[in-house]
């Protein structure tokens, strides 16, 4: 089984990325051949600062390793180290129906939030399909917001196979129900572009401030509170044990404790959960050569897998 996923280096990684994709991907790394990459071509649709893009790309590699990606079991690489993927994206573009792309909600959302409506942003799902198809991927662990993109990938693969014969494998999205959409500080989906994130490796003071700023309703301290409707409880249940979560749920329902109190408890649990990763990250930051080696070895393995599929595609469409 081939497992593949990607993450954009468009800002600091947050706990939505961690619980939605990184942890499920890390859990799967022993279950087959895992390919995880840093989507720097995709990040160009929103980031136009070469120094920042380079630094953030490397930062994602460090952070992913710190969170438990094991380079002896999973291939970690930069998307742009396999430029063949843009060739496959072009070929997919030639069969991609406009209507299919026009229905993609992430394009509409991004433009509504002020990102420039470039052709690259519009065809973003086609490059993402190429990312997935070029490695003959079986399973794609992602958060819920990427589900439609995997469906578009399946549609494009089907279209190619109908047109040129059976050359591309159809992937399945793998979405963890409990962490499919991690809420942000305002209760909406946690997202870099909504400014509602808690970073995995944020500074202590800033992280505490962010947790304390989680938006709550005006239920008085004494009154019972709805745990399921609260981002505090939802985030707590990601980092606490089942017993601790059950206790917090009971305390919500009983009343008598204020939201501020629950936020302090959330911060403490969150800070503790990521402590071993912070430690590992410090060690990794002291070994820049190791990061370079991991990315170089990853690029070699990814290139070899991509060349297999591209050979097949070029042959089938008539380019060789």
Q: With binding defined as CB under 6 A, does residue 34 bind ligand TYM? A: no
Q: φ and ψ at 171, to 5 degrees?
A: -85, 160
Cα(238)–Cα(218) distance, rounded to whole angstroms?
Answer: 24
Pairing outcome for strands 74-78 and 33-38: parallel
Active-site residues, by number, are: 110, 189, 192
- Residue 128 interacts with ligand TYM (CB under 6 A)? yes
Residue 156 CB-half CA count within 13 A:
32
φ, ψ dihedrals at 189, nearest 5°: -55, 135
| Least distance between ligand TYM and beta carbon 5 (Å) | 4
Q: Which stretch binds ligand TYM (CB under 6 A): 177-185, 269-277, 284-292, 302-310?
A: 177-185
Binding residues for ligand TYM restricted to 184-243, rule: CB under 6 A: 189-191
For ligand TYM, which is the closer residue by CB, 87 or 290?
87
Rounded distance between C-alpha atoms, residue 269 and residue 235, angstroms: 10
End-to-end CA distance of the chain: 29
Select the residue whose beta carbon is closest to ligand TYM and give its number. 20
| Site map 42..61 versus ligand TYM, x via CB under 6 A | x-------------------
The span of 110-118, 145-153, 200-208, 229-237 binding ligand TYM (CB under 6 A) equals 145-153
Task: Please report how close the Cβ of residue 128 comes to ligand TYM at its closest, in angstroms.
Answer: 4
Strand segments (E) across 28-185: 33-38, 74-78, 139-141, 172-174
Q: Which of 34, 38, 39, 238 binds ligand TYM (CB under 6 A)?
A: 39
Does residue 85 belong to the site contacting ligand TYM (CB under 6 A)?
A: no
List b or e across 297-320, with b for residues whose CB sees 16 or more CB atoms inside 10 angstroms: ebbeebbebbeebbebbeebbeee
63 lies in the binding site for ligand TYM (CB under 6 A) = no
- Name the residues that contact ligand TYM, by CB under 6 A: 4-8, 16-17, 20-21, 39, 42, 128, 131-132, 140, 142-143, 145-146, 149, 179, 181-182, 189-191
């Amino acid at each position: 089984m081939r497992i593949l996923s990607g993450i954009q280096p468009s800002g600091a990684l947050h706990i939505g990325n961690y619980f939605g994709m990184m942890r499920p991907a890390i859990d799967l790394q022993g279950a087959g051949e895992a390919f995880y990459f840093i989507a720097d071509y995709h990040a160009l649709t929103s980031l136009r600062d070469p120094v920042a893009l380079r630094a953030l790309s490397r930062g994602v590699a460090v952070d992913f390793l710190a969170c438990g990606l094991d380079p002896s079991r999973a291939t970690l690489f930069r998307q742009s180290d396999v430029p063949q993927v843009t060739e496959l994206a072009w070929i997919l573009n030639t069969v991609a129906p406009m209507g299919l792309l026009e229905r993609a909600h992430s394009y509409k959302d991004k433009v509504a939030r002020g990102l420039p409506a470039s052709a690259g942003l519009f065809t973003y799902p086609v490059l993402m399909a190429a990312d997935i198809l070029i490695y003959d991927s079986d399973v794609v662990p992602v958060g819920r917001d990427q589900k439609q993109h995997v469906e578009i990938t399946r549609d494009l693969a089907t279209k190619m196979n109908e047109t040129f014969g059976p050359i591309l494998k159809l992937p399945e999205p793998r979405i963890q129900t409990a962490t499919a959409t991690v809420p942000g500080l305002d209760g909406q989906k946690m997202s870099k572009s909504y400014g509602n994130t808690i970073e995995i490796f944020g500074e202590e003071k800033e992280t505490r401030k962010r947790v304390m700023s989680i938006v709550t309703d005006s239920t008085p301290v004494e009154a019972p509170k709805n745990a399921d409707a609260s981002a505090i409880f939802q985030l707590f249940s990601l980092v606490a044990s089942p017993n601790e979560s059950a206790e917090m749920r009971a305390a919500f329902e009983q009343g008598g404790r204020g939201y501020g109190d629950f936020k302090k408890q959330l911060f403490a649990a969150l800070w503790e959960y990521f402590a071993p990763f912070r430690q590992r990250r410090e060690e990794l930051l002291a070994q820049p050569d190791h990061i370079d080696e991991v990315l170089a070895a990853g690029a070699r393995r990814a290139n070899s897998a991509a060349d297999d599929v591209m050979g097949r595609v070029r042959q089938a469409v008539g380019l060789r």
